[in-house]
Copies of this chain bind each other. A is one copy, B any other.
Amino acid sequence: MTRMTRQRAAVAEALDQQDEFRSAQQLHEVLRARGDSVGLATVYRTLQTFADAHEVDQLRNADGEVLYRRCERVEHHHHLVCRSCRRTIEIDGPTVEAWAAKVGAAHDFTDIDHTIELWGICKDCRG
């Protein structure tokens, strides 16, 4: 049902080149710089498709922009992101997973989902 196209391959490749979270527009610029011509609308659509398929992670920065990243681990996890350079550490948090589930159940809420992201300044950015 999802066709393989030059554009999707290019977006996937551009994503793999990145270590940090990037916005759709940043990735569009990366593609342009690489010489891959991909429409901005297609970049947005493709990233959304990847996200729906859990092939990329997405989060919002403080400005509300959506950022995307292809993470190492495919299993559920969270992130510790440098506010300055966006360097990202993937966090495995059984402690908070259990906490979130317990809190939800304690208040009789179901279908619990959680947004847990840590932001800070990394060592390199402290200079």
- A120 CA / B60 CA spacing, docked (Å): 20
In the A-B complex, list the 10 residue pairs whose CB atoms are closest, starting with the nearest: A109-B120, A112-B120, A108-B123, A115-B117, A113-B119, A111-B121, A95-B99, A116-B116, A89-B107, A114-B118
CB of A100 within 8 A of CB of B118, answer yes
**Which residues of chain A in 69-117 are interfacial with respect to chain B, using CB atoms and an 8 Å cutoff?**
80, 82-83, 89, 91, 93, 95-96, 99-100, 103-104, 107-117
A109 touches B96 (CB 8 A): no
Interface size grouping (class) on chain A: 20 to 34
- CB contact under 8 A between A104 and B120, given known A60-B64, A80-B109, A110-B126: yes
